[in-house]
Amino acid sequence: MEIAYFLGCIMPNRYPGIEKATRILFDALDIELKDMDGASCCPAPGVFGSFDEETWATIAARNLTLAEDMGADIMTECNGCFGSLFEANHMLKEDEEKRAKINANLAEIGKEFKGTTNVKHLAQILRDDVGYEKLASLIEKPLDLNVAVHYGCHFLKPTAEIGIEDQAENPSILDDIVEITGAKSIDYKDKMMCCGAGGGLRARDIDVTASFTKEKLDHMTEAGVDAIIDVCPFCHMQFDQGQTEVNEKYGTDYAIPVFHLAQLYGLAMGLSAEELTLDAQKIDAAPALAKALGENAK
Amino acid sequence: MSIIDRLKSLFSEEKDMEEKNIADKKSDDVGAKPSNLDDAIVSGTKTSVPISDVLKKDEDAASEVTFKKDVSSIEEQRVEEDLPIIEEDEPSNDEEIPKEEEEESDVEEVQEIQSAEDAAVEDDDETSEIEEDVPVEESLDVEENTSSQEEDVNTDDEEESAEKADDEENNQNKDEKRDNMTLLTDKELLTDANRDPEFTAEFIDAGIETVKHCFQCGTCGGGCPSGRRTPYKVRQIVRKCLLGLKEEVITDDALWMCTTCYTCQERCPRSVKIVEIIKKARNVAAHAGYMAKPHKMTGVFVINTGHAVPINDAAKSLRTKIGLSEVPATTHADAAALEEVKKLCKITAFDELIGYDEATGGLKE
């Protein structure tokens, strides 16, 4: 099996440990991740989608054509990229009028959207294409961690279009995948709430974004977790860097380490904090790592 | 799984009720009885029946009416109290009985759906007719009634006195009591001159016909994480988009307080594509020049690098350290690909939209 690997912006350009972990994970799963040479920003649904639908769809369609030319489906591990690419792919497959308009634009750079690729999320592939049994066979160091799973918004929703089998308001896909590593998913208040970064809000009004994030952190703290697990580098950045911003604005001292799902699997497969670039994140992961691997370190 | 089943049954109950209301409305059109209570419930804006009547009846029906669970009891109560409606309700009550006998139910259901669809079509037509005929002030007045009554629901005394008071006094009371949850005030009555039908048409043309389906229940705002902390009132924005209040929508900073989290859209009982409406309204705002500088800068980054968040030195050294290529195999490593992105941004005039200055690689000004 091979798949076109869409990197996006924040993962390769801020948290490369997520990319590294994903490449090692998929090596172990015997799935070839093929680079989409020349791919760009998805582009961000909340920003480009909010400014000019045509530009958003045109740039997204260009990315989609790269995978079409490779004859492969696309995998992304960013909810924003997933939302953008899935939505554009869906729209252009369904709406002939818009497709004609976008293809007229793409013709100027010698490309054409054909509608021959599918856009999939990392977690969706792990559950539906890989399977939990195979995932479990990869675990070398079961992790002793209580974690708050954060789904993010553009993964399962809007359910009417996305069609990943689960419930948007009470899902289980991520909790199931996380618990295979030995970590325990702890329920917490308003678990499905947004991190606050999306829709261009972080860029425009960081105070409001921080207020969202603080509410999430409050609830996670009440539940007593060792770490936050996400499947979106933008949420990841918001919980990591944003956590320090919350502390500055509110005088709090939150210090909950943040792991992308791929990083969590990297840990369970025995990768070091350095390989996962956890040592470069704003929130110190060392306490959680000590707990997670404590028994195995003996 | 039992929770899902329960929810499903609740939703189907709600849908049944909705269909009945539509059916009532349809027969009502024929029977020319403009003050039907169901009209007030469905559209919430198009009749002059005091909502207090409706609410009071519901309260009488069961002292602890919870919105969804007791739909059936409300229904029964209405049958008892409201003789004229009995005749109209009976056929639809009959329809429910065969549903339990599965053999015949399919045919029945198809008919029911068909008639509901017909009714829906008529509903749309009727709405547009009314919107043309009835002065805007009237429909907005009723909306104020709705919200002021929402505040009053729990105080019987106030409710009764409000009923006795004549319209003008009533309005004054409301002005005093009104908080900023209300869409409009009497002092700022809107007329057709305030409306821009082309603005509404933009949503329809963009394929968001569901903007017309909103009945202003407020479920969207109730679940909105932004509305808890900002002036962003999603229900109002949807209403304003439908009424064509373009300037109010696009000049309001609150329009940009949505994180596009889809909670509203997932919960909307009318399946209105709310996030699409918000994004479309933002498109109109952006093209009218209402765009924040940080947003423009995100656009600048994409034109200059192909990435909204471009690589930096720290990330380069991290990548090298863990054995990845120094820059990812994206537009960062492919000048020709970056040129394609730039060209596309020109073709769609995105560069002009954000005020991109090619000479400096920044914003004009």
**pLDDT one-digit tens code per residue, A239-293:** 999 999 999 999 999 999 999 999 999 999 999 999 999 999 999 999 999 999 8
- pLDDT at position B6 is 66
Which residues share a beta bridge with B194? none
- pLDDT at position B176 is 53
Backbone angles phi, psi at B361, to 5 degrees: 70, 20
Q: Which residue has the tokens 């009532």?
A: B24
- pLDDT tens sequence across B245-294: 999 999 999 999 999 999 999 999 999 999 999 999 999 999 999 999 99
Reported as a pLDDT band with limits 50, 70 and 90, residue A294 is confident
- pLDDT at position A234 is 98
For the four alpha carbons of A63, A69, A70 and A73, in that order, the dihedral sign comes to positive
Region B336-341 average pLDDT = 98
Residues of chain B with C-beta less than 8 angstroms from the C-beta of A108: 343-344, 347
Question: Does A223 or B69 have the greater pLDDT score?
Answer: A223
- pLDDT at position B189 is 78
Closest partner CB to A35 (pick from B226, B329, B344): B329
Q: Chain B contact for A31, CB < 8 A?
A: no
- pLDDT at position A250 is 98
Please name the helix (run of DSSP H) or strand (run of DSSP E) that holds residue A271, with its range, or none: none
The tokens of B294 are what? Answer: 């940080």
Region A51-80 average pLDDT = 98
Please, which residues have CB within 8 angstroms of residue A200's CB and are 6 or more apart in sequence?
Answer: A44, A46, A47, A50, B256, B295, B298
Task: Report which DSSP code applies to A39.
Answer: B
pTM confidence score: 0.74
- pLDDT at position B33 is 40
- pLDDT at position B191 is 85
Question: Does A261 or B85 have the greater pLDDT score?
Answer: A261
Averaged confidence pLDDT in chain A: 96
Judged against a pLDDT cut of 80, whether residue B301 lies above it is answered with yes
Question: Between the CA of residue A295 and those of A143, A147, A229, B234, what are the distances in Å?
Answer: 9, 18, 21, 50
Residues of chain A with C-beta less than 8 angstroms from the C-beta of B318: 16-17, 277, 280
- pLDDT at position B190 is 81
Reported as a pLDDT band with limits 50, 70 and 90, residue B15 is low
CB contact under 8 A, B347 and A198: no
Question: Does B100 or A126 have the greater pLDDT score?
Answer: A126
Looking at the complex, report in whole angstroms how far the Cα of residue A153 sits from the nearest Cα belonging to chain B. Answer: 5
CB contact under 8 A, A194 and B261: yes
CB contact under 8 A, B258 and A35: no
Which of A160-169, B30-39, B223-232 has the largest mean confidence?
B223-232
Q: What percent of chain B has pLDDT over 70?
A: 48
- pLDDT tens sequence across B126-174: 444 444 444 444 444 434 444 444 444 444 444 444 444 445 555 555 5
Task: Report which DSSP code applies to A166.
Answer: S
- The residue among B246, B251, B221 whose CA lies nearest residue B234 is B221
ipTM of the complex: 0.96
CB contact under 8 A, B256 and A201: yes
- The residue among B291, B114, B262, B132 whose CA lies nearest residue B197 is B132
- pLDDT at position B351 is 97
Reported as a pLDDT band with limits 50, 70 and 90, residue A47 is confident
Region B85-107 average pLDDT = 42
- Taken as a whole, chain B contains a residue count of 365
Which of A87-101, B6-20, B49-63 has the largest mean confidence?
A87-101
CB contact under 8 A, B299 and A48: yes
- pLDDT at position A60 is 98
Reported as a pLDDT band with limits 50, 70 and 90, residue B185 is low
- pLDDT at position B312 is 98
Q: Please answer whether residues B303 and B351 qualify as being in contact, where contact means their C-beta atoms are separated by less than 8 angstroms.
A: yes
Reported as a pLDDT band with limits 50, 70 and 90, residue B68 is very low
Residues of chain A with C-beta less than 8 angstroms from the C-beta of B223: none
Residues of chain B with C-beta less than 8 angstroms from the C-beta of A109: 340, 343-344
The tokens of A187 are what? Answer: 């329920």
Judged against a pLDDT cut of 50, whether residue A156 lies above it is answered with yes
Please name the helix (run of DSSP H) or strand (run of DSSP E) that holds residue A32, with its range, or none: strand A32-35
Q: Which residue of A has its CA nearest to B335?
A: A38
Question: Does B63 or A48 have the greater pLDDT score?
Answer: A48
Residues of chain A with C-beta less than 8 angstroms from the C-beta of B287: 52
- pLDDT at position B365 is 78
CB contact under 8 A, B279 and A49: yes
Strands B356-357 and B362-363: antiparallel
Averaged confidence pLDDT in chain B: 70
Backbone angles phi, psi at B192, to 5 degrees: -55, -25
CB contact under 8 A, A204 and B275: no
Judged against a pLDDT cut of 90, whether residue B331 lies above it is answered with yes
Residues of chain B with C-beta less than 8 angstroms from the C-beta of A20: 322-324
Looking at the complex, report in whole angstroms how far the Cα of residue B271 sits from the nearest Cα belonging to chain A. Answer: 9
The tokens of B286 are what? Answer: 């952006």
Residues of chain A with C-beta less than 8 angstroms from the C-beta of B225: 193-194, 196, 212, 215
Question: Does A292 or B122 have the greater pLDDT score?
Answer: A292
Question: Does B188 or A172 have the greater pLDDT score?
Answer: A172
Q: Chain B contact for A192, CB < 8 A?
A: yes
Task: Report which DSSP code applies to B252.
Answer: -
